[in-house]
Amino acid sequence: MNMDIVDARGLLCPEPVVLTQRAIKNGTAALTVLVDAVAARENVTRFAASRGYAVSVSEQNGEFKLELSKK
């Protein structure tokens, strides 16, 4: 399965959420979002959940990988 990737590392909020919103508007059912700030992780997670996506988060070396999938 092809999965879209949004690389929002180094970007300040609300840009990671805006990029995620843009990808979701394209109708993707699965999406990976990469961020490097706790606030961005929380905001993207909250936004995705509000749009009906399940979110799985993993962290490595201060960077977060958010796996979004349509519920």
pLDDT, tens digit (0-9, with 9 covering 90-100), for 28-52 = 889 999 999 999 999 999 999 999 9
- Could you say which DSSP state residue 14 is in? T
Task: Look at the block and give the residue holding tokens 């399940």.
Answer: 54
Q: Which fold has domain 4-70?
A: Translation Initiation Factor IF3 (3.30.110)
Distance CA(52)–CA(35), nearest Å, equals: 20
Q: Would the CA dihedral through 4, 5, 11, 16 be positive or negative?
A: positive
Q: Give the ranges where 2-54 is alpha helix by DSSP (H).
A: 15-25, 38-50
How confident is residue 11, by pLDDT bands cut at 50, 70 and 90? very high
Q: Which helix (H) or strand (E) is 30 found in, with range? A: strand 30-35
